[in-house]
Structure 1
């Protein structure tokens, strides 16, 4: 059975989707963009954007009773691969070395609201 996970500590969905779905102990988190859930405004610049996306993801994980340690797969979408090094350093700072999830990072032509980064995750609750 699917359980919809939602929290006010992450941005509300801007379309017909859930922040996350929990099915049989697996959490599927929708792509998060750098919207500050307190103000509803976008943050700007790849460093601030990456931090905000990771905070949004952490809030959703917490709402499901999980942490970044539970994440098994990450998909990262960048508007420019020129931002990869900065994004990657910040992304890694939220994770525990030795328990990194599987991941792909791709450059895309455009992202919602013309942001620089969007990240989705899959986590497993053992």
Structure 2
């Protein structure tokens, strides 16, 4: 299998209250000393044929491993629910990770915040 890179439209989410939810200059070190200490997530868009597809992965900053993800044809809250449910099933019961995301609408939603 060989991928073809071509110019791609970037995903532009409604950003809500950017800069008002969290400090945009947070000094987050993007490495961790142990598994499940720091996790990060993002929604990215790519094309398969003529369809836009959205990927929402969760990366453990200790191992750089993707530990959870969801793929959807729409960047909606259900996609985030799927990603989180898979993540919660894998988290150790005593884990209290720092969970870093951008500030797009999905991450500002009350359900996600809970």
TM-score (norm: length of structure 2): 0.29
- Asked which structure has the greater RCO (Cα within 8 Å, sep 6+), the reply is 1
Max Rg structure: 2
Structure with the largest fraction of helix? 1
